[in-house]
Chain A
Amino acid sequence: MVSWIIAKPFLAGALLCAACAAVLALWFLLRRPALTRTTKLVLLAAIGVLPLAAAATGNVAGFEATKARGFCGSCHVMTPYQHDSEDHRSITLAARHARNELFGDENCYACHADYGMFGTVVTKLGGLRHIYEYALHYRNMSLDEARATIHIRKPFQNATCMHCHSTAGPSWNAVKDHASLLDRVRAGTVSCASAGCHGPAHPFSKPEAAR
């Protein structure tokens, strides 16, 4: 229990605040106390302070939860991608990054997030679009159909790879292909995930021409 609270402090705080607020609100509804100043202060806690605290910490916990691979895989069309990431024998880029402890359970988010000052907000807005598309178009689609139909919205940016692989390190530049393609990789005219380089990130990735 203590280790769970330490591991998820925002979630624990949000649940605690929500539980306290619910107890106070139920007390007011069931006991029907007179509207004295004390009652109003209790209601300020039950309706204002505690729910606001629960919402604030709950939103942080919610944002953290949306980074998890399980969250992405909870839409059925994404389960093959999730299973590939979790397959210890898979050698795809996604699976290899999932085995890296720096990415771990958040490997979908780490590679598909936009970075920069408003990266998180832009990523979350993109996530809303995914939910809209899923609810309206892909909800009842079979997996085979989804694999053939669903594609990444815009070409995968090298900048995302370069968030970790800066292209400035000596070990990176020691690879001859890296050194010879340095400018093109930085300019994004050659994709890190192109055939002949590191290949597609997922076993179901589609070539550019097929989209």
Chain B
Amino acid sequence: MIKFRLSAMTALRISAVLTLVGLAFMAWSMLQPTPMPVMLAMSVGQGFGCTAFALYLYVVVRDIRRARREQVPGARDPS
């Protein structure tokens, strides 16, 4: 099985880009409140935002777990 592991920096950069895209949708809907921008902001835009935040949380949780593993003596090195 191919295991795809994203580095923390790459994941956070992707997350930041997704955040910017989501914010762009949101700003568009607020500056031009017509049906299509409002619909896109509340669906696609929020989807981008949630994905970005989930990616950020994934990185943070992974870092915390790794830090805990390193603190435990004799813990198995995953690498």
Contact = CB atoms under 8 A, between A and B. Distances in A.
A159 to B, nearest CB: 27
Of B23, B39, B53, most buried by chain A (CB within 10 Å of CB) is B23
A26 B19 CA distance: 10
A15 B13 contact: no
B30 A11 contact: yes
Interface string A17-53: 0100110011011000001000010011011100110
Nearest to A128: B39
A62 interface: yes
A74 B17 contact: no
Contacts of A11: 30
6 contacts: A46-B16, A47-B15, A47-B16, A52-B49, A62-B42, A74-B35
A209 to B, nearest CB: 31
Nearest to A28: B16
A79 to B, nearest CB: 13
Interface in B33-55: 33-35, 38-39, 41-42, 46, 49, 52-53
B9 A29 contact: no
Contacts of B15: 43, 47
Contact of B27 (A18, A43, A68): A18
| Those 3 A-B pairs whose CB atoms lie nearest each other, nearest first | A65-B33, A74-B34, A25-B16
A54 interface: yes
